[in-house]
Amino acid sequence: MLVSLGPQAFLSPVPVMLVGTYDVVNRPNIMAVAWGGLCCSQPPCLAVSLRRSTWTHRALLERQAFTVSLPGRSLVGQADFAGLVSGRNEDKFDVLGLSALPGEHVDAPYVGECPVVLELLLRHTLELGSHTQFVGEIMDVKVRQDCLTADGLPDPQRIQALSYAPLVAEYHGTGDFVARAFAVGKTVKRQGKRPVWMYVH
């Protein structure tokens, strides 16, 4: 039986992302974000949603560019800190001992210790309510060499990306292989014999 929890900002899991920008004094900054994900294939785009009160919100609008660094399990403490403290008051890269590396394709820094990095140019903004959604076009994806498969593709089991569980406010690991996409569905035995026209309105 499903239990109703009412209208909630909930989806599980959601990715833990470190959004990198240069602030108004050209200082590199990161902010932990969980409200976001891929939103378009061509051109490849990713959306993140930020509160207007955040330091990153202003920087992103001014620079029109940002990065997304995906922290692995070993950086869970640093990732959480990046969401607890404002870049107005702290140089988070310095405090956390993280490397602020300049983007190669965009005017934004990324976290050198993260296994995956995306560089993005801001393309769209949308005021949603408590948050502004920023849609960035992905200009480059970088993956640490030891996190690639033999075919040169990102390996989730090696990346060990973090996910966030809303409402219970917990971090969880990802990476366990379950099945091959676009293949396992072909093994499902069809059930039911209702004609397709019954579902067409």
User: Where along the chain do its domains lie?
Assistant: 14-199
State the Cα–Cα distance between residues 161 and 171, nearest whole angstrom.
10
CATH class of the domain comprising 14-199: mainly beta
pLDDT, average across residues 122-143: 98
Give the sign of the dihedral formed by CA 139, CA 159, CA 28, CA 38.
positive
Which three-class secondary structure state does DSSP give residue 187?
Answer: helix
Place of tokens 């990198």: 20
Tokens of 88: 């107005």
Residue at 120: amino acid letter: L
Q: What is the mean pLDDT of the chain?
A: 95
Reduce the DSSP state of residue 38 to 3 states and report it. Answer: strand
- What is the structure's pLDDT at 196? 62
3-state secondary structure 127-169: ECCCEEEEEEEEEEEEECHHHECCCCCECHHHHCEEEEECCCC
Cα(93)–Cα(89) distance, integer angstroms: 12
What is the identity of the amino acid at 152? Answer: G
Separation CA 138–CA 123 (nearest Å): 10
What's the pLDDT score for residue 189?
Answer: 86
Residues 68 and 124: their CA atoms lie apart, in Å, by: 16
pLDDT tens, position by position, 60-77: 999 999 999 999 999 999
- Looking at residues 127-143, what average pLDDT do you find? 98
For 4-59, what is each residue's pLDDT tens digit? 999 999 999 899 999 999 998 999 999 999 999 999 999 999 999 999 999 999 99
pLDDT value at 198 more than 60: no
* pLDDT-based confidence at residue 195 (cuts at 50, 70, 90): low
